[in-house]
Amino acid sequence: MYQSLIKRVSRAALYVMTAALFAGCTSGPSIFVNSDPAASFASYRTYNFVTPLGTDTSSYSSLLSQYLRAATARELESRGYTRSDNPDVLVNFNVKTKDKIQTTTTPSGPIYGGYYSYRLGNYGVWNGYDTQVTQYTEGTLTVDVVDAARKQLAWDGTAVGRVREKDRANPQPVIDNVITQIFAKYPSPGAPVAP
């Protein structure tokens, strides 16, 4: 039943839902980055966005795309980049969601007198295991930075985390936070690329 509900949700709604994923864990999302060793981050000074973005539909720009563009522009400009019609790098976003099930099994112990009751002459009956099943949505946001001249991916940053219900109503602060975390691992202009 839950899967059929997800299929009926529009693509744009899925993106907004995914945008809230990153506040799910107390430690925040898991962040992963990759860099092309041949990329010349020291020479990159200008940026722009791919059209259409991976988070847009073919006919309009989603709210998620607007939030992602604003947060990314803030991060790049704080690193000395300027927006240009002839950019050194192009930025794109991709979002995916996946329904997941987590099971946790713990021993429940014997029914009578606890585990060591046999020492008292009370042999308890082993009660088995308690299993807890949790269904949740995991979301993945990837930011691609493409070398515009070479038309090759120079860097990507990915955040993976749980979608939280309470953040779906106001995803913009969550998006701002996640983009900040992703770009915390972005190479500074002029700095060598970390392995």
Mean pLDDT, the chain, rounded, equals 79
Cα gap 90→86, rounded to integer Å: 10
For the question of whether the overall pTM of this predicted structure is more than 0.85, the answer is: no
* Average of per-residue pLDDT across 128-153: 87
* Average of per-residue pLDDT across 161-169: 79
Q: Give the model's pLDDT for residue 186.
A: 95
pLDDT tens digits, 56-83: 887 888 899 999 999 999 999 999 999 9
Q: Give the model's pLDDT for residue 109.
A: 60
* Average of per-residue pLDDT across 45-60: 91
pLDDT tens digits, 16-44: 444 444 444 445 799 999 999 999 999 99
Considering only residues 111 and 179, tell me which one the structure prediction assigns the higher pLDDT. 179
Q: Give the model's pLDDT for residue 16.
A: 43
Q: Measure CA 16 to chain center.
A: 12
Reported residue count of the chain is 195
81 near 44, Cβ under 8 Å? yes
Cα gap 72→189, rounded to integer Å: 16
178 near 64, Cβ under 8 Å? no
Name the token pair of 94: 């991709």
23 near 174, Cβ under 8 Å? yes
Bridge partners (DSSP) listed for residue 34: 156
Please state which of the ranges 38-52, 119-133, 176-190 shows the lowest mean pLDDT: 119-133
The pLDDT confidence band at residue 159, using thresholds 50, 70 and 90, is: very high
Q: Which CATH architecture has domain 2-98+138-183?
A: 2-Layer Sandwich (3.30)
